[in-house]
Amino acid sequence: MDIRTMRYYMIVAQEENMTTAAEVLHVTQPTLSRQIADLEKELGCLLFERTNRRTVLNEDGRHLYKKFSEILAMVDETASEFRNKDRRITGEVSIGAGESRTVDLLGTAMKNLLNTHPDVLFRIHSANSASILDRLESDELDFGLLFEPVSLENYRHLRIPARERLGVLTTADHPLAEKGFVTAEDLASYPLIMVAPRSLDRYALSRLFGLPSDAANIVGYGNLIYNVSCFVRSGVGIALTIDGLTYTGEGSSFRFIPMRPERYRSQVLLWKKKKELSRAAQLFLSEMIGVCSSFSNYGE
């Protein structure tokens, strides 16, 4: 069984007539009939119901038609990739990421790639770490941008040089807004909204913000900073978050106050060890490596 035989079989199945199929393939009818007979002998079953006028697939033949369709599509796609690998690059690159300023680096790499390969399409999935990992495992995503720590056992990774500064988001008239920094003791005095899944509260409080979980008054959770900022504005509580996600400049009703001692979070770009990246995804990764190598962290 070879590729040529598969293609012969597909044409016979589509034309439903051996003579017509032979004309399409530019071979003699006896030659084509012999190829199909040899295929049936090799597989040990008949594939067609034959009449004087028609050659129609039987049940086994329809099953084989589906399998050959999949194989030939893969063969044609692979051949196309190699023919065009140094020419026009197409395809989709899918990336999962949470909210952070580090996403700016993804944007820079995307723009650089689109400058040279404008037919590449990017798909961004915004979600928390658990959702992104699930989608990486099911091959719905090529890459995931996640905060450390994260298990790297099944992944290759690129460590991102950007660091995200931790602190609190308050309203401009909040008692903490006049301070240049906040401490864990300050956090214990106010109702808190976690910008994280509920399952991360103990880790986030004790390891990231230095606040023992039994000293915290957590009144809510959220995974999108815009929605959380609405609760902050309403006086529900102050939000534990990272810098730069909400505008806090002139005229803003919000203030971001960093932690003291200063605390940061880092991120990694992950992709599965066992997944073969498309040409477009490989080029995006190359751009990300270049962006990271020339990066200086947000003016620190």
Lowest mean pLDDT among 77-81, 141-145, 256-260: 77-81
Percent of the chain past pLDDT 90, that is, above it, reads 40
Q: Decide if 225 contacts 101 (C-beta within 8 A).
A: no
The average pLDDT across 119-141 equals 88
Structure tokens at 65: 């038609």
Contact 237, 201 (CB under 8 A): no
pLDDT tens per residue across span 30-75: 999 999 999 999 999 999 998 878 889 999 999 999 989 888 888 8
Residue 140 CA: distances (Å) to CA of 81, 96, 123, 171, 211: 21, 9, 11, 39, 36
CA 140 to chain centre: 6
Please compute the mean of the pLDDT values over residues 217-228 and round it to a whole number.
84
pLDDT tens column, 136-194? 988 889 999 998 878 888 899 999 888 889 999 999 999 999 888 999 899 889 999 98
Tens of pLDDT, residues 83-115: 655 567 788 999 999 888 888 899 999 999 999
User: Residue 21 and residue 10: Cα distance in Å, rounded?
Assistant: 9
Is cis: bond before 261, omega within 30 of 0?
yes
Give the pLDDT of residue 91. 86
Residue 209, both tokens: 């913000």
Classify 53 as helix, strand or coil. coil
Q: What is the pLDDT of residue 130?
A: 81
CA distance 300 to 297: 6
DSSP string, 205-261: IIIIS---GGG-EEEEEES-HHHHHHHHHTTS-EEEEETTSS--STT-SEEEEEBSS
Give this prediction's pTM.
Answer: 0.62
Domains in the chain, CATH or no CATH each: 3-83 (1.10.10.10), 91-162+266-293 (3.40.190.10), 165-264 (3.40.190.10)
pLDDT for the residue numbered 239: 92
Q: What CA–CA distances, in Å, run from 73 to 69, 258, 284?
A: 6, 55, 25
Indicate if the pLDDT at residue 200 is higher than 70: no
Structure tokens given for 203: 């880790």
User: What is the distance, to the nearest Å, from the Cα of residue 225 to the centroid of all Cα atoms in its chain?
Assistant: 21
